[in-house]
Structure 1
């Protein structure tokens, strides 16, 4: 597994497909802290949304960095499709950890927060990035060519899923009462963002764990769906 993770990471680095999303993320991160009157929770919540959006780009470009023929050879050598895709998920998870850490370290090192540094708030800020990042990876994987044959449709589908996930709180009140349950099957991103608007750390700490568990459960379900769908597609082609 370690060898596969190293292989995929180096292959992705050599492809340079990471450059556009990484550049955009760094620019938005720096732009977000252009003015120093920033609160820790609200500011890191904004950059967490940036990471959520751009991890979709990272994931699609990463899963597509290896052409189908090469991927089949890799599967043949690894002797397990599950191991191949699990390695890809882990690689993207490590990227999420690195980007999440950078998102917190940058404003701390350059003194971009107007309030005194608070370890609990910084931890919550890191976790916001991490959980939204892995959620984005699990969503984007369902739109890769392993599931969706048409790459263009895959990108459009991923973008639509991102928009719906973020805007779900806005249109929930416009739906008929009997259809409002739809909002509950969407990622709890609006709930997390609204929670970050409060500055009551004890309340947030006692509540945010439930939102994180919701995100983790949502992510696990999406990953299981991915493995089931790609395996089903593989059997159908065999």
Structure 2
């Protein structure tokens, strides 16, 4: 079985490279420090960890996609007999780390009873959805710029940081200058995730949540398709 062997190889390469240590250590330390005090609100706290996961998974994805030099990459693609499988294997490793960090961010405050009240099942569902989408945005962003800027890692980092900054500030920019609403469409709609993380006493999901969720699903599908086609073309 080539694909399981390739995934195992990618995991070993990433672990042996030790490049996973900075992002995971930073994320873990941030979670512990952030939840130093108990009695904090539920959803606004999780909104912060969603943003943190978005940033960290961009970092993780870029480090996973920079494991091999061009020669080793070409050899792996030849062995797999598919550029798509090479890309899917990279994404699998990213999703594995995203799962571990996302679950840690969700479970940690619940385990130690950090919140001032018990979490509702509806809130928990929104929290899981938010962390999943945030992780996917980070993986897509990191892999996209790793592919298009493969010969310039510094420029790839700067480009991804710019996109992250704009996507996080997008809601405020669009409110002040409505013309930018359409210009911001290519940027990850992360604000349309965290805007629903409100600490209302009676939390509920309105129609605007489902409209935003539909757009996010469409965005993710289109982003994956674009990234796959771009990778196949450039490699």
TM-score (norm 1): 0.89
* Structure 2 partner of 1:39: 41
1:47 positional shift: 0.5
* Structure 2 partner of 1:29: 31
1:178 positional shift: 4.2
CA distance in 1, matches of 2:204, 2:181: 30
* Structure 1 partner of 2:221: 220
> Greater RCO between the two (CA within 8 Å, min separation 6)?
2
CA distance in 1, matches of 2:179, 2:59: 34
**Alignment RMSD:** 1.8
CA distance in 2, matches of 1:122, 1:39: 13
Would the aligned equivalents of 2:10 and 2:90 in 1 still touch at CA under 8 Å? yes
CA distance in 1, matches of 2:152, 2:93: 24
Give the 4+ runs in structure 1 shifted more than 4 A: none
| Structure 2 residue matching 1:173: 3-state secondary structure | helix
* Structure 1 partner of 2:52: 50
1:2 positional shift: 2.2
CA distance in 1, matches of 2:217, 2:68: 28
Structure 2, unaligned runs of 5 or more: none
How do residues 1-238 of structure 1 correspond to structure 2 at under 5 angstroms? 1-144=3-146, 146-148=147-149, 149-175=151-177, 177-199=178-200, 200-203=202-205, 207-234=208-235
1:179 positional shift: 4.3
Would the aligned equivalents of 1:138 and 1:222 in 2 still touch at CA under 8 Å? yes
1:213 positional shift: 3.1
Q: Relative to structure 1, is the Cα distance of residues 14 and 98 closer, same or farther in structure 2, using a 3 angstrom cutoff?
A: same
Deviates more, 1:91-100 or 1:159-168: 91-100
Q: Relative to structure 1, is the Cα distance of residues 31 and 174 closer, same or farther in structure 2, using a 3 angstrom cutoff?
A: same
1:45 positional shift: 1.1
TM-score (norm 2): 0.90
Q: Relative to structure 1, is the Cα distance of residues 179 and 166 closer, same or farther in structure 2, using a 3 angstrom cutoff?
A: closer
- Give CA-to-partner distance per residue, 1:40-95, whole Å, 9 cap, x none: 21111110110001111111011112222211111111111111001111221222
Structure 1, unaligned runs of 5 or more: none
Q: Relative to structure 1, is the Cα distance of residues 233 and 74 closer, same or farther in structure 2, using a 3 angstrom cutoff?
A: same
Would the aligned equivalents of 1:96 and 1:133 in 2 still touch at CA under 8 Å? yes
1:32 positional shift: 1.5
Q: Relative to structure 1, is the Cα distance of residues 117 and 193 closer, same or farther in structure 2, using a 3 angstrom cutoff?
A: closer
- Give CA-to-partner distance per residue, 1:102-155, whole Å, 9 cap, x none: 1111111111111023232223212211111011111111110x3212111111
Deviates more, 1:183-192 or 1:13-22: 183-192
1:207 positional shift: 4.5
1:173 positional shift: 3.0
Would the aligned equivalents of 1:32 and 1:47 in 2 still touch at CA under 8 Å? no
